[in-house]
Amino acid sequence: MASTQFKPDDAYRDSISTVDAAGKRVWLYPKKPAGRLYRARKWLSYGFLAVLFAGPWLRLNGLPLLMLNLPAQKFIILGQIFWPQDFFILLLATLTFLVFIILFTVVYGRVFCGWVCPQTIFLEMVFRRIEYWLEGDAPQQKALDRRELDWDKLWRKTTKHVLFLAVSFLIANTFLAYIIGSDALVAIVTDPLTAHLGGLAAMVGFTGVFYAVFARFREQVCTIVCPYGRLQGVLLDQDSLGGGL
């Protein structure tokens, strides 16, 4: 008797699951994950977050570990200063990293997106955990959104978005410190507001961007904005180990 091999239906590739037939956004309610691999992802993500937030304050040879000051055209990597005339070194390093990511994706699929991507780490391990804490798992979140506004819904939603703004402000300050340096950031925070209007505007702008990304835009970043997400369609095949993740 001849055996038949199952062939998956590829019709799902013709549409985006987060957009309905009318072109409107379909809000996702992911179920709270659990399990051994998720615990490993969680602790790895916490390690990345610790390094990210500590990075601007760490020094090597009296210089920050990483500072990419585009306005001043001054780049510091691992305590070494690079100027525009050294740009070819940064270009080679960037190209090497991109080639590594491409080859890694061909073999291991979406492992980078699930385990290392900053968008995933912040969204899944920070913002959604706040959401789970205040609003419950996916069924409770759906019920809360559909319910009429009452005191319970009001304080939960208000507290969630206040915490989202606070975390976004913290991320914005850290991001700004990687650009202008931690000393300049401290000066913006401690000096009178009128002394650093440009820095204050950048801080507020970054906070608004991060809040919009993690409170509203979310997975749309991966499907619409991220160039790496768009490239994955031509990088993955049936032999990629994590192609179905």
Residue 27 resides in a domain = no
Range of the domain at 41: 32-235
Q: How confident is the prediction along the chain (245 residues), in pLDDT tens digits per residue?
A: 455 555 556 665 666 777 777 778 888 899 999 899 999 999 999 999 999 999 888 888 888 888 887 777 777 777 778 777 777 777 888 889 888 888 888 888 888 888 989 999 999 999 999 999 999 999 999 999 999 999 999 999 999 999 999 999 999 999 999 988 888 888 888 888 888 888 889 899 999 999 999 999 998 888 888 888 888 878 877 777 665 44
Domain count, the chain: 1
Residue 38 resides in a domain = yes
Nearest to 34 by CA among 124, 112, 120, 119: 124
SS3 (DSSP) at 39: helix
Answer whether 0.85 is exceeded by the pTM: no
Residue 182 resides in a domain = yes
Residue 19 resides in a domain = no
Exposure string for 104-131, b = 16+ CB within 10 A, e = fewer: ebbebbbbbbebebebbbbbbbbbbebb
Cα separation, 150 vs 218, whole angstroms: 26
